[in-house]
Amino acid sequence: MSTPANDPTRLPCRPRAGLRLAAAAALLALLAGCASWLEEGARDGTGPEAEAAESAGLAVRGLDPDEPLDAAILDDPDTPLKTRRIHFAFDSSQIPEDALPVLKAHGEFLGEHPELRMTVEGHTDERGSRAYNLALGERRAEAVKELLRAHGAGTEQVETVSYGEEQPLVPESNEQAWAENRRAELVYDSE
């Protein structure tokens, strides 16, 4: 079963849906830019080598330091960067083992791209006290941030915010929905 709600590759788009959609659109635009890599690479004047690369099935390009980040890599299905949602056990802010490679990849990616900014959102399921859940969501987001920093992200690059139980992904009351809702979302800012 693959509903939008439990598809881990789905871009988070709530709350601040407008901002998120703008960010997603920016990523898509950059993705579309992939098609022109080779052409640009050739034009950038690496000359015969570029042509050789083309025949070898490679894509080479020169780097313009003023160019905005090539964020298309974030949507490459072959990297852990595509995963931007981490799930947690009940009443726990411990990062599950299967999420460690994901956060390692994002931490390194942020380290390589110091111009990038990310907001980590912490969420909980609906059970128990709301104010306690707000703190629990915060601790989940902070745990994610800590690990991102350990892998190279700068302190100023990552913000955290907790929504507690206020923004469930699956607004239902059952074990599966609760498991979906106990999460942290990694949201790259659009600029």
Partner 1 sequence: MSRPPRPTTAPPRSWRAKARPAALAAVLAGALLPGTPRAEDEVVIDIIGGMEAATPIAVVPFQTAGGASPETRIAPIIAADLARSGRFEVLPEADLIATPGRIEDVQFSTWRALGVDYLVVGGLRPGEEQDYRARFELLDAFRGERTDGRSYRVGEGSLRRLAHTLSDRIYKAITGDEGAFSSRIAYIAVSQQKADGGGSGDPPEQRYRLVVADADGHRGRTVLRASAPLLSPAWSPSRDRLAYVSFEGGGSQVFVQELATGERRRVASFKGINSAPAWSPDGERLAVTLSRDGAANIYLIDLDSGETRAITNHWAIDTEAAWAPDGETIYFTSDRGGKPQIYRTGVDGGEVERVTYEGAYNAHPTLSPSGERLAMVHRREGAYHIAVQDLERDAFRVLSDGPADESPSFAPNGDWVLYSAGGDGNAYLETASLIGDAVTPLEATQRPGAQVREPAW
Binding site residues, partner 1, CB under 8 A = 3-5, 13-17, 91, 126-132, 134-136, 138-139, 160-164, 166-168, 171-174
Write out the DSSP string of the chain. Answer: ---TTT-TTSPP--SSHHHHHHHHHHHHHHHHHGGGHHHHHIIIIITHHHHHHHHTT-------TTSPP-GGGGG-TTSGGG--EEE--TT--PPPGGGHHHHHHHHHHHHH-TT--EEEEEE--S-S-HHHHHHHHHHHHHHHHHHHHHTT--GGGEEEEEEETSS-SS-S-SHHHHHHHSEEEEEE---
Residue number with CB closer to partner 1 (55 or 174): 174
Whole-number minimum distance, CB 116 to partner 1, in Å?
Answer: 19
Residue number with CB closer to partner 1 (17 or 52): 17
Write out the DSSP string of 124-162. Answer: --S-S-HHHHHHHHHHHHHHHHHHHHHTT--GGGEEEEE
Residue number with CB closer to partner 1 (36 or 173): 173
Whole-number minimum distance, CB 16 to partner 1, in Å?
Answer: 7
Residue number with CB closer to partner 1 (81 or 93): 93
Whole-number minimum distance, CB 138 to partner 1, in Å?
Answer: 5
Residue number with CB closer to partner 1 (15 or 68): 15
Whole-number minimum distance, CB 15 to partner 1, in Å?
Answer: 7
Residue number with CB closer to partner 1 (113 or 139): 139
Whole-number minimum distance, CB 127 to partner 1, in Å?
Answer: 6
CB contact at 8 A, 188 and 116: yes
Whole-number minimum distance, CB 83 to partner 1, in Å?
Answer: 19
